[in-house]
Structure 1
Amino acid sequence: MSNPQFRLGVIVNPFAGIGGALALKGSDGAQVREKALAMGAEKKANEKMAKALSILEALSGKFTVVTAQGEMGESVCVSLGLPYEVIYSPSCTQTEGEDSEKAAQAMLEANVDLLLFAGGDGTARNICNVVGAAIPVLGVPAGCKIHSGVYCVSPAAAGQVVSQMIAGELVSEMEAEVRDIDENAFRQGKVIAKHYGEMRVPAELTYIQAVKMGGKEDEALVLDDIAAYVSEMMEDEPDTYFVMGSGSTVDAIMEYLGLENTLLGVDVVRQGKREASDVTASQLIALTQGKPCKVVLTVIGGQGHLLGRGNQQLSPEFIRHVGKQNMIVVATKQKIRGLHGKPLRLDSGDERLDAQLSGAFTIITGYKDKVLYNAV
């Protein structure tokens, strides 16, 4: 089975940052942009996106770009000779924030693995309005205001993180804040920043203190960390049915909870108690239908299967009911590294469902420690 190409969404706000060099304190608003251009401002956002994308040259053939027409992404792909597909066309040459939002919506529907965008805090707000926590995003800093945590420190740093994802290396996932300031107040010497939301952002791999022992993970400590984190998630959602898939990592969570576990079967936990054990596919659907539900899965070591090996009770009908956003994947970094860059495998028995689920998965690898990893 060949691995599908990584689908990289690219959005450029071509007017980002044009007011900075002219001391206009931002680029928001058509009047500010017109004034900046009349004063001779240069548009630099595509140049910065090019610095990020140029790092991906060595990975030619392993990814394709999904982007917007013209200066919103297409032009930089043409200049670098990257394979691309245009899925959004702005109606006017001078694009607005709504164009960033419409492009982001198109990429969300196109199931991109990562959305890379160039802009400032206003662009981050636009992207957050549409994407939220649905897919991983990463910002290339190109604006006058960069208060949000979704941006890399430089275009080159953004390119490095993207290259790691495309190459199948482990990258951490963090929840980063989107912030923006009031530009009118800023021009009057006042900094009024506001929180607008959070998005999922890939970052270079980090280890939490508890699991870094001589450069290697201590398996028992890591499993305790994972179990403690999942346990907190259960406490925060007492009315949710947590379906516990098979495998040793899930078994460690059940042991941490003080509950008996069917190692090679599927159990259901709610409010700290085991509601059902070793359920069949039909029993699972009957028990959870119409109710809030999450499923806890682990990766089969060496093979990388997430669905279809030892957990056939998780039928396509059930997985559709749960949705990818409610699939909690747990594994140690050591187990993921053991895949040697091979993707996770989805074999639900429904090829269309597998295609819908494919792409980046969040994997809990410790206490509030997560990585992003691709599945096919």
Structure 2
Amino acid sequence: MKKIGFLVNPIAGMGGAVGLKGTDGDAFRKAVSLGSMPISGERAKRAVQHLRANDLLMLTSSGEMGEDVIKETGLLYDVIYDIHGKTSAADTREVCKRFLEADVDLILFCGGDGTARDVYSVIGTDIPMLGIPAGVKMYSGVFAIDPVAAGDLLEDLLSHQNHSILTDSEYDEDRIKIRDAEVVDIDENEYRKGMLKIEVFGYAKTPYKPTLVQGRKFVFYGEDEEVSKREIGRFASEFMRDGSLYILGAGTTTKAVADALNLEKTLLGVDVIKDGRLIKSDANENDLLNILEGEKSTKIIVSPIGAQGFIFGRGNQQISSKVIRKVGIGNVIVIATPYKLEQTPYLFVDTGDADLDRSFSGYMSVVCGYRMAERKEVQVHGGSFS
């Protein structure tokens, strides 16, 4: 019988929609005060609800750290760690010690980079780990592209036992590779100040299959990159004078747009611009929904995360499915430098709204220079969120 260690970080991702860029420390309490609701339990459920392996035992924690999700699925499970009161990173590390003692075959966790770091700090490379994405930012390479993809990858791994290790020079889209993936995290306090400092904590073993598991985030530097960003910004500053309201996503590429308009940009946040004026800085989901009321023409400008390819669902949860639906998919403008596009095989979306995600499927134009665009495929996982 295969044994899977299953854990959920119950507060993961709560800072996203309210614009807090994480839930470490006091940010969790502030997120609650702003009306943020837990999302990780529902995302974890989407990952495991369709597992059908008969010889599978899920080992987990009591309550909201795992049991509450598993008991709704009909899967065989055993609680090996009891939580008491509010959970913390110490609980994550302790249950991972229990997973080691139980000799589980894989740890399936639901959270963000902080959770991945806590898991890795205990298990190292002794056990493969796979993340169900639920955090605000997920720059590590141990996460599936969305919850359903995590479940499908695990089901494939368990059902077909085809997880023979391939070398980096080999490629087979029908086989699962166990690869070394970077576990990274950032300083959330610096992140909230607009400073992105990524630290690599180690390399975990994780199952991998193309289009099901994300890569880690890369930041591209160089004079050519800066020139390309300025050209994109120059073009955007021209077409943005059409009277529409623009929601400008996070990142250095979108900052180039604000620079071209001589406006201050929240580097790692979302801003709202109309007629060359800054309407709202560092907006959260509620800000955006309120601002959109009564606007006749609205558009969203975003840039994919380098190498990962996500345009929604990673670090910009303020631009929620509700916001995107109000604006309309046809009014989403993606911008990226030519080199970033070259190093980003596909674009992805993970809004939590399956129908909305699927409507992005296909090819879309990406502005990559002054009056220049390139077609890029948006990959949407075919699993059901029912």
State yes or no: 1:39 paired with 2:44: no
In 2: Cα distance, 1:161 partner to 1:105 partner: 24
- Which AA in structure 1 matches 2:139? H
Pair 1:201 & 2:193 matched:
no
C-alpha offsets along residues 239-262 of structure 1, whole Å, 9 cap, x if unaligned?
Answer: xxxxxxxxxxxxxxxxxxxxxxxx
SS of the aligned residue for 1:140 comes to strand
- Deviations along 1:2-48, one digit per CA (max 9) or x if unpaired, are xxx2111101000000011100110111x221221222111111111
1:201 CA drift (Å)? 0.2
Give the structure with higher Rg (CA).
1
The secondary structure found in structure 2 opposite 1:55 is coil
CA contact (8 A) 1:172 1:205 kept: no
Match of 2:11 among 11, 15, 36: 15
Pick from 148, 153, 176: which aligns with 1:156?
Answer: 148
How far does the alpha carbon of each residue in 1:180-207 deviate from its partner, in whole angstroms, 9 at most, with x for none?
111111111111110111110011289x
SS in 2 for 1:200: strand
Matches within 5 A, 1:1-376: 5-29=1-25, 31-56=26-51, 58-59=52-53, 61-92=54-85, 94-170=86-162, 171-204=176-209
After the TM superposition, list the runs of 4 or more consecutive aligned residues in structure 1 that deviate by more than 4 angstroms.
none
Against the structure 1 CA distance between its residues 186 and 205, is the aligned structure 2 distance closer, same or farther, given a 3 Å change threshold? closer
| 3-state secondary structure, aligned to 2:181 | strand
> 1:196 corresponds to which letter in structure 2?
F
> For the aligned residues, what is the CA RMSD?
1.4
Q: Is the 8 A contact 1:124 1:139 kept in 2?
A: yes
Secondary structure class of the residue paired with 1:35: helix
Deviations 1:133-163 (A, max 9, x none): 0011100100001000011111111111110
SS in 1 for 2:93: helix
The answer on whether the counterparts of 1:65 and 1:82 sit within 8 Å (CA) in structure 2 is yes
Structure 1 unpaired stretches of 5+: 207-376
Q: Distance in 2 between matches of 1:139 and 1:201?
A: 9
Distance in 1 between residues matched to 2:40 and 2:132, nearest whole Å:
9
Task: Identify the range of structure 1 (34-43 vs 100-109) with the bigger mean alpha-carbon deviation.
Answer: 34-43
TM-score by length of structure 2 reads: 0.50
Separation (CA, whole Å) in 2 of partners of 1:126 and 1:138: 13
Taking only the aligned residue pairs, the percentage that are identical comes to 40
- Partners of 2:181 and 2:43 lie apart in 1 by 21
Superposition TM-score, scaled by structure 1 size = 0.51
In the alignment, structure 2 segments of 5+ residues that lack a partner are 163-175, 212-386
Q: Per the alignment, in what secondary structure is the counterpart of residue 202 of structure 2?
A: strand
Tell me if the contact between 1:90 and 1:99 (Cα under 8 Å) persists in the aligned partners.
yes
Indicate the SS of the match to 1:79.
coil
**Take 2:193 and 2:6, find their aligned partners in 1: how far apart are those partners?**
34
1:91 is displaced (CA, Å) by 2.8
- Number of the residue aligned with 2:231: none
Residues in 2 aligned to 1:141 and 1:177: alpha-carbon distance in whole angstroms: 15
Residue 116 of structure 1 aligns to which amino acid in structure 2?
Answer: L
